[in-house]
Amino acid sequence: MILSTALAAVACAPKAPKAIPTDNAVEAKVEKVLKGMTLEEKAGQLVQLNISTLEDASREKIDPVKLDLIIGKYKVGSILNVMHDAAHSREHTAAMVRQIQEKSMEAIGIPCIYGLDMIHGASYLVEGSLYPQEINLAATFNREYPRLMGHAMAYETRAAQVPWVFSPVMDLGRDPRWPRIWESFGEDPYLQAQMAREETIALQGANPNHIDQEHVAVSIKHFMGYGVPVSGKDRTPAIIAENDLREKFFAPFLECFRAGALTAMVNSASINGIPTHANAVLLSGWVKEQLGWDGMLVTDWADIDNLYTRDHVAADKKDAVAMGINAGIDMIMDPYDPECCTAIVELVNEGRISQARLDDAVRRVLRLKVRLGLFDKPVWDQAYPDFASEKFALQSYAAALESEVLLKNEGGLLPLKEGQKILVTGPNANSLRALNGGWSYTWQGKADDYVPQYNTILEALQKRFPGKVSYVPGVEYDPSDWQIDKVTGLAQLKAEAKKADVIICCVGENSYCETPGNMDDLNLSANQKELVRAAAASGKPVVLVLNEGRPRLIGDIEPLCAAVVDVMLPSNFGGDALAALLSGDENFSGKLPFTYSKHINALHTYDYKVSEHREIMEGSYNYDAVMDVQWPFGHGLSYTSFAYSNLQVSADKFTSADVLKVSVDVTNTGARAGKEAVLLYSSDLVASLIPDVKRLRGFEKISLAAGETKTVSFELPASALAFVGADGRWRLEEGDFRLSIGGQGLMVRCTETKVWDTPNI
């Protein structure tokens, strides 16, 4: 097995530096608290319960009797979620947390740690600032936006007295059937790692040992391999080649662990037949031992129970608890059952969990609380003048502008001409819920119920083109089931189309999150396709606007549309951004962070193996060839044009210790200013394992005035060109590589073969 071989190699490898430097003052405080704890108090620190276990009958307030039971008797150390699955004000949330902290300090002298799923901003607070979802931030190819979102999310979450967020998400979105692809930064490991790292640092601040009252602890998730289930369904098994697991799926997590991530949430499903929550090789081996990481691993929702109720690798609850904690779990998210605390006590007394493993897990929980300053300030009095500020709103709008992707624009239909009569149709035209997606005010996302002050696509177009916009829904979603839509008034659509100069057809998906988003057919719904056909049959040009959390298949209707824009999930300012882009007030610059598939049985990623090539030129692989997809990774049009030239590299021969300096000139050859994401790829021409056709190795976003040229430079460590071999070790092999940017390409040669014993280069 590769894993066992790799672990054997690690045993004799030099000890890696700790992912988070040790702070002696932090450690002294942890040891002092630990020394005075009872077994029952230690067990309670390892359990996290849902806020519903504390709710009174109104489900809006805390029941003092339940609070005394959960904190006073069971000594539970963490609470998560919001009351009644509803968004609350900052003040309501803060008051609730204060009440819990007062009880925790009174009963056990240890602060509780409260956690929330803040996924694209302070998304559980009614007044919170929401940003485009991560998939949109990835489409900007601009590291600034995860930094800005991370800062705002931390600031506003702390303002509600909450110090811990279950974010960022860094599951590789490599299967478009998976219902959580929109929570991630797309399909590529490098893009995912870079964007997640920026968000992690922005959320936590510069020093993970001492986090101030404007920053929070992260929980990077979901460790790992969650996004490629064989079935395409949420929380179902994955089969992943072990070298890919190390090389690609681990990459974003490795980057964030090294950046100081304090906690990580574990993948709910299984990899190669082993439930991740019971996988000691990954949890204790790869993370804690190989990285020297002293942070905390928390389960996902009720996943310890899944070890016996679903996966059948444990006989009962106690067996599952022992299995998870012994594998490396430090905190059990057991939403409804405080008896988990009792099970831990019994397992320690029975010797099934050692005192050493118990104390190690408790240290990790306490260390988190010390690093957050919760012992000194379980709650804090601080003004947050930027909460829900115009500054954050402008950032969200700017991110939406750079994230919406122009995929097609035949005949220069866009930008729209002033004075044109516009017919807007489709189920996504007048919905804030669809623009935001899940994790927006509620778990499944119900933005329309909370923030009607923002503009839908329809409302934004009506404001930008006053008196020129008519509206026929054509198809509408069933409010009781996100997957069901119904045709309403195609006859009216045909009548209104006669009066219009252009039709904007807004289709895609309603909001959903996690398992409720599972589906059996990736095609856009039949009713919505019928709507597009009806619009095209009018003879008027159609602009297809895709508002979706994953790339739904549209190969049969795309030819009917002169222009196609994928806005994905741009949040509250997405409608305004789209109106500015369609009108030409702003220019498109987004690029796809995933491959947009064309066929239901051909769901590819851009970094497929060279042996999958469809095109072969004179016996040589064509490294610019792409699969038969709707649009490739990195595709995105603009109202201007860009030309690439003068690709250069610092040396045409290199060793494993070298850093290649790569540069290219980019010229705006059009008539208006624009932004361009410059993407650097590498291709390994011959390798001991079948190589990927190409891999993203760098990206930079630049702005260019009309006619302007800029030189864009990259530093590419030779070690970045290495891959994980059949023996589980990283290797850079002697031979030729092709570097490419914007259609330009050149060859370089590695003059040695280097194999690393360390698993994390």
Catalytic residues: 300
The answer to whether the beta carbons of residues 324 and 278 sit under 8 Å apart is: yes
* Whole-Å CA distances, 239 to 228, 235, 242, 400, 760: 8, 13, 9, 35, 22
Residue 432: which residues within 8 A CB-CB, separation 6 or more? Answer: 447, 448, 451, 452, 454, 456, 572, 575
| φ, ψ for residue 512, nearest 5 deg | -160, 165
Render the burial of 189-218: b for 16+ CB within 10 Å, e for the rest: bbbbbbbbbbbbbbbbbeebbebbbbbbbb
Specify which residues 79 forms β-bridges with. 49, 114
| Residue with token string 């709910």 | 268
- Residues 538 and 80: their CA atoms lie apart, in Å, by 52
* Whole-Å CA distances, 101 to 67, 161, 347, 436: 11, 10, 28, 32
Residue 635: which residues within 8 A CB-CB, separation 6 or more? Answer: 405, 407, 591, 592, 596
The runs of H, that is alpha helices, within 515-631 are: 526-537, 574-583
Give me 302's structure tokens.
């009720």
- Residues 723 and 411: their CA atoms lie apart, in Å, by 44
* Whole-Å CA distances, 667 to 80, 650, 663: 50, 21, 13
Dihedral over alpha carbons 565, 566, 570, 573 (to 10 degrees):
10
The answer to whether the beta carbons of residues 707 and 727 sit under 8 Å apart is: no
- Amino acid type, 107: A
Cite the beta strand spans of 638-726 per DSSP E.
642-649, 653-654, 659-668, 674-684, 695-704, 709-717, 723-724
End-to-end Cα spacing for the chain: 21
SS3 540: coil
Q: How many CB atoms lie within 10 A of CB 32?
A: 12
Residue 558: which residues within 8 A CB-CB, separation 6 or more? Answer: 408, 544, 564, 630
The answer to whether the beta carbons of residues 76 and 51 sit under 8 Å apart is: no
Specify which residues 408 forms β-bridges with. 564
- Residues 145 and 399: their CA atoms lie apart, in Å, by 6
Residue 555: which residues within 8 A CB-CB, separation 6 or more? Answer: 598, 599, 630
Give me 599's structure tokens.
């066929």
Q: How many CB atoms lie within 10 A of CB 715?
A: 11
User: DSSP character for 216?
Assistant: -
- Residues 434 and 552: their CA atoms lie apart, in Å, by 14
Tell me if the bond preceding 415 is cis, omega within 30° of 0. Answer: yes
The H helix count followed by the E strand count for the chain is 21, 31
Largest CA distance in the chain: 79
Please provide the DSSP assignment of 401-437 as one string: HHH-EEEEEGGG-PSPPTT--EEEESTTTT-HHHHH-
| φ, ψ for residue 490, nearest 5 deg | -65, -30
Query: Starting from the edge strand earliest in sequence, which strands make up the sheet with 542-547, in order?
Result: 405-409, 563-566, 542-547, 502-508, 422-425, 469-472
Please provide the DSSP assignment of 293-329 as one string: --SEEE--TTHHHHHHHTS-SSSSHHHHHHHHHHHT-
